[in-house]
A and B are shown apart, each in its own frame.
Chain A
């Protein structure tokens, strides 16, 4: 079965370190998204991609970057981790179109100390 996998599930890092969260999907979807989930804010879009070599900023992109070198992967990098980036991060993908739901990974819980 097709799926979307995030790794690691849990990560603790120190302020100032670079961190990369992995996202891999086997749906062959063109569209991939990174969200962060924080209490009281729901899910907020960080970055998204509509295809290989395409990346776009979402509403909370400062301090994050992504790259899309193939269809399956959209890694999220925190250039210099800050305590404000402690959160749960979700990767999602879809085919596109009004009737195309988002498929989510199980999330990565990141703690920045």
Chain B
């Protein structure tokens, strides 16, 4: 079935460090890809998305590029802040299928 695999955490970084969270997918069709973020005690929020190959999603300094050849959608940020501490989820959905499949989540902690 369709699934997402993302790197295990937790990840601990210092402020201003570079962040990468790997995400790869398996899908029978052409999925749309998403990154969601969950801050402590809250539900998930959409961080960014890409709906076709080579699309780049970006938001709040985060970026991810939809790579069909490597079936990947890695999340990157050049300089993290303490406020970026959260759990990050990679997810996919297929055309005409509105439900999302999520990865296991990666906990990121940024220290001042």
**B-facing residues in A26-80 (Cβ within 8 Å):** 31, 33, 35, 40-45, 48, 50, 58
What separation, in Å, do the CA atoms of A43 and B89 have in the docked complex? 9
B93: nearest chain-A partner, CB-CB: A98
Smallest Cβ distance from A109 to chain B, in angstroms? 10
**How many A residues have CB within 8 A of the partner chain?**
27
Residue of A nearest to B100 (CB): A102
Q: Are B43 and A31 in contact (CB under 8 A)?
A: no
Within 8 A of A (CB), among B69-112: 89, 93, 95, 98-105
Closest residue of A by beta carbon distance from B107: A39
User: Which size class do B's interface residues fall under?
Assistant: 20 to 34
Whether, in the assembled complex, A13 has its beta carbon less than 8 Å from a beta carbon of chain B, the answer is: no
| B45: chain A residues within 8 A (beta carbon) | 104
Which residues on the B side are within 8 Å of A101 (C-beta)?
34, 46, 49
Tell me whether B98 and A94 are in contact (CB under 8 A): yes
Closest A residue to B44 by beta carbon equals: A104
Contact A50 B43 (CB under 8 A): no
Tell me the smallest distance from the CB of B27 to a CB of chain A, in Å: 13
Would A98 and B32 count as touching, CB distance under 8 A? yes
Whether A58 contacts B99 by the Cβ 8 Å rule is: yes
A97 to chain B, nearest CB (A): 8
- The reply to whether B41 and A42 contact each other, CB–CB distance below 8 Å, is no
Which residues in A have some Cβ–Cβ distance to B below 8 Å? 4, 31, 33, 35, 40-45, 48, 50, 58, 90, 92, 94, 96-102, 104-107
Closest 3 CB pairs of A and B: A104-B43, A101-B46, A42-B104
